[in-house]
Structure 1
């Protein structure tokens, strides 16, 4: 059963300007512990690749927060939600702390799609709920 759907489009030009304004504080605020080293490695090889990584993760977290209906309020926090890649390259969701507990107690499962093209990064998230785990 569909619990929620979220989508987000991030203007990479605005992300570039924000990164120039705030420096590393921006990715440190948005990216989780496993995402941050990936951003640093990609940025070291190519600042544009690092920027696109940051923009897609930002967009995916926004889309996820919409799909679960919380927006960016507790227990949803930027760093408690990580978008990592499986060996196949497919994006997958990793949650931490109270957000993980909130998500699991509702029997939820997320499907994520990411894309970036020229000036935009886009994300689409579908969250399913196992009908057997619906809270009373």
Structure 2
């Protein structure tokens, strides 16, 4: 059974402007530790790739927060929600701390799709109640 659906579109130019204004502090506020390490690597090799990486993660977390119906209200936080990849490369959400406990207590699972193109990053998220 579907618990919730969320979608988000993010203007990559807005993320770029936030990075220019706030530097790495902005990325550190939005990204979990593993994501931040990946962002640093990508940004060092090709800065634009780092911007797009951050924009897709920002968009995915917004879509997820909408799908679970919390928005950015505790226990949902930027850093407790991590965009990861399954061994197949498929994107997924890895949760930490109180958000993980909240999610598991409701027996939920997540499906995530993300994309970016020129000036925009977009994400679509479906959260389901697992069959018990």
TM score, norm. by length of structure 2: 0.97
The answer for the alignment partner of 1:48 in structure 2 is 48
Matches within 5 A, 1:58-77: 58-77=58-77
The answer for the alignment partner of 2:127 in structure 1 is 127
The answer for the alignment partner of 2:27 in structure 1 is 27
The number of residue pairs the alignment matches comes to 132
Extract unaligned runs of 5+ from structure 2.
none
Q: Distance in 2 between matches of 1:61 and 1:131?
A: 24
The answer for the alignment partner of 1:7 in structure 2 is 7
Q: Secondary structure of the equivalent of 2:79?
A: helix
State the Cα distance separating 1:71 from its structure 2 match: 0.3
State the Cα distance separating 1:131 from its structure 2 match: 4.8
CA RMSD of aligned residues (A): 0.8
Extract unaligned runs of 5+ from structure 1.
none
The answer for the alignment partner of 1:104 in structure 2 is 104
Q: Distance in 2 between matches of 1:28 and 1:59?
A: 15
Q: Secondary structure of the equivalent of 2:65?
A: helix
Q: Distance in 2 between matches of 1:65 and 1:18?
A: 21
Deviation track 1:70-125 (CA, whole Å, cap 9, x = no partner) reads: 00000000000000122322111110000000000100000000000010000000
Q: Distance in 2 between matches of 1:84 and 1:44?
A: 20
Q: Secondary structure of the equivalent of 1:69?
A: coil
